Amino acid sequence: MGSDQPVDDRQLLGLLKQASGDLGARAWVVGGYVRDHLLGRAQPDLDVVVEEGGAGRLAERFARLAGAGPPVTFERYGTAQVTLPGHLVEFVSARSESYAPESRKPDVRPATLEEDLRRRDFTVNTLLMDFDGNIHDRLGTAKADLEARVLRTPADPLQTFNDDPLRMLRAVRFAAQLGFALAPNLVPAMRQLSGRLASPVVSVERTADELRKMLVSERPRLALELLDAGGLLEVVLPDLAACKGVEQGGYHTHDVFGHTLLALGLTPADLVVRLAAVFHDVGKPSTATPDGAFTGHEEVGARITRAALERLRFSQKEIDAVVVLVRLHLRPVYYRSEWSDGAVRRLARDAGAQIERLMALARADVGASAYPEPEKLDELAARLATVLSERPTRLAPPVDGEDIMRARGIPPGPEVGRIKERLGELILDGEIEPSREAVLAYLQSHPDF
């Protein structure tokens, strides 16, 4: 083939059939691709399980037929990966695994296909597809569980989760993504083994990756509810877990944790907004007073958020964006029609590139309470659109420190910054036109400014 054009599923199966026929190998597509195919969901990546070893040889033959580069091999695990335009195909020899107590890296040995299927995470991921597209249910329960939309482990969940604790988070993620229920014995097993999620058994990066997928799923609120039910919330998001039972009055109808869940469920599928919804009130437990106030919780929450996301090793760009939203989340909620245009401009300036996300967070925050004036956010959004469209903009002074030093004849120092900040405020309030000429003229005519 050798083309950069994406390979369609029919072509992939045809190439796999040819490669396995050439080698006399018994192989099957297994796992998420088969599951999602039956659910009508797109899944570009394929896992191929090869009976009686030979995954590497099959990967090499498939790569040659497909005109792909040589496979990337992982000899310890008996796996090989072939990358094609739009697809990643992973080949694995049927195997069984055993795990040391403090490691997710398994000791691997060859096994029968049935043994391989039983060591997998969930029955719905044990369905097989032959290269003619026919579905096979070797364990006899996978089709029924898929139709019932139930996540069940092929073995005792204590064994399945103890072998690979990340599977507890995968169960939550699949439930949130697919709308599946957890089998009754899964949550008790999670509670019993929740401590196994801690590093080094499960890396922070793997935990954060699962959390990302949960939060951008169609059911992020369900994900947090299941993390809580399984005793995993304290491990993954301890700062949010601390919000449980923290009562609040006013227009709030739930404790801080319940309010957070409601707000999260009202956010758009944007990772930064949803992270901000998760963390927006985490400063409340430590700022609560006997009279029900949470003074300064947004600043405390911003500090907690930064530390938590750094611990989870999110990117600096993501962390900075979420922290801005947590720090500013009350500003739109406190909006009143009496605000001056300068006050609206200050909000736009302070939020910067996060202003649309801030408004989305504010709508979710207000919607998760009994606040009586949610329509005021529409008014604020209209005013923000107006000030953001002003040309030239009033959100930043059109002069820099060098301009100020020349106009005033002063050396570098704190006074330059003070003058620039004050000029910015006057421009925001409409007292000086936002042009370089007008600002320099103001400096000339106000020598004591």
Residue 396 within a domain: no
Instruction: Give the pLDDT band (50/70/90) at residue 445.
Output: very high
d(C-alpha 339, C-alpha 297), whole Å: 23
Last residue of a domain, one of 145, 168, 184: 145
pLDDT digits (tens, 9 = 90+) for 155-212: 999 999 998 999 999 999 999 999 999 999 999 999 999 999 988 889 999 999 999 9
User: Quick one: 59 and 163 in the same domain?
Assistant: no
What does the buried/exposed string (b/e) look like for 314-350 if buried means 16 or more CB atoms within 10 Å of the residue's CB?
beeeebebbbbbbbbbebbbebeeebeebbbbbbbbe
Q: What is the pLDDT of residue 162?
A: 93
User: Quick one: 185 and 280 in the same domain?
Assistant: no
Residue 428 within a domain: yes
Angle at the Cα of 286 from the Cα atoms of 284 and 289, rounded to 5 degrees: 80
Residue 166 within a domain: yes
Q: What is the pLDDT of residue 199?
A: 81
User: Quick one: 334 and 368 in the same domain?
Assistant: yes
Residue 254 within a domain: no
Average pLDDT, the chain: 95
Tell me: pLDDT of 74 over 60: yes
Residue 409 within a domain: yes
- Name the residue range of residue 22's domain: 1-145
Q: What is the pLDDT of residue 332?
A: 98
Last residue of a domain, one of 145, 160, 181: 145
User: Quick one: 292 and 204 in the same domain?
Assistant: no
pLDDT digits (tens, 9 = 90+) for 350-394: 999 999 999 999 999 999 999 989 999 999 999 999 999 999 999
User: Quick one: 139 and 197 in the same domain?
Assistant: no
Tell me: pLDDT of 99 over 80: no
Where on the phi/psi map is residue 245: left (φ > 0), alpha (ψ -120 to 50), or beta? left
157 in Cβ contact with 185 (< 8 Å): yes
- pTM for the full predicted model: 0.93
Q: 348 — phi, psi (to 5°)?
A: -60, -40
Residue 245 within a domain: no
Q: What is the pLDDT of residue 388?
A: 98
Residue 10 within a domain: yes
Q: Tally the domains of the chain.
A: 4
**CATH code at position 174:** 1.10.110.30
Lowest-confidence pick of 26-30, 95-99, 244-248, 283-287? 95-99
User: Quick one: 361 and 281 in the same domain?
Assistant: yes
295 in Cβ contact with 252 (< 8 Å): no
CA-closest candidate to residue 312, choices 202, 203, 200, 204: 204
231 in Cβ contact with 198 (< 8 Å): no
User: Quick one: 274 and 371 in the same domain?
Assistant: yes
Q: Where are the alpha helices (DSSP H) in 32-93?
A: 32-39, 55-66
User: Quick one: 269 and 382 in the same domain?
Assistant: yes
Please state whether the peptide bond connecting residue 200 to the residue before it is cis, i.e. omega within 30 degrees of 0: yes
Q: What is the pLDDT of residue 103?
A: 63
User: Quick one: 89 and 164 in the same domain?
Assistant: no
Q: What is the pLDDT of residue 77?
A: 74
Q: What is the pLDDT of residue 76?
A: 73
User: Quick one: 62 and 187 in the same domain?
Assistant: no
Q: Residue count of the chain, please give it.
A: 449
Q: What is the pLDDT of residue 153?
A: 98
Last residue of a domain, one of 201, 236, 271: 236
Residue 246 within a domain: no
Element (H, E) at 46: strand 46-50
CB atoms within 10 A of CB 206: 16
Angle at the Cα of 217 from the Cα atoms of 265 and 193, rounded to 5 degrees: 95
Q: What is the pLDDT of residue 101?
A: 65
Instruction: Give the pLDDT band (50/70/90) at residue 412.
Output: very high
Contacts of residue 323, defined as CB under 8 A and 6 or more positions apart, other chains included, come to: 302, 305, 306, 309
Lowest-confidence pick of 96-100, 180-184, 438-442? 96-100
Instruction: Give the pLDDT band (50/70/90) at residue 1.
Output: low
Tell me: pLDDT of 214 over 80: yes
Q: What is the pLDDT of residue 106?
A: 64
pLDDT digits (tens, 9 = 90+) for 236-295: 999 999 999 999 998 999 999 999 999 999 999 999 999 999 999 999 999 999 888 999
User: Quick one: 213 and 301 in the same domain?
Assistant: no
Lowest-confidence pick of 75-84, 125-134, 425-434? 75-84
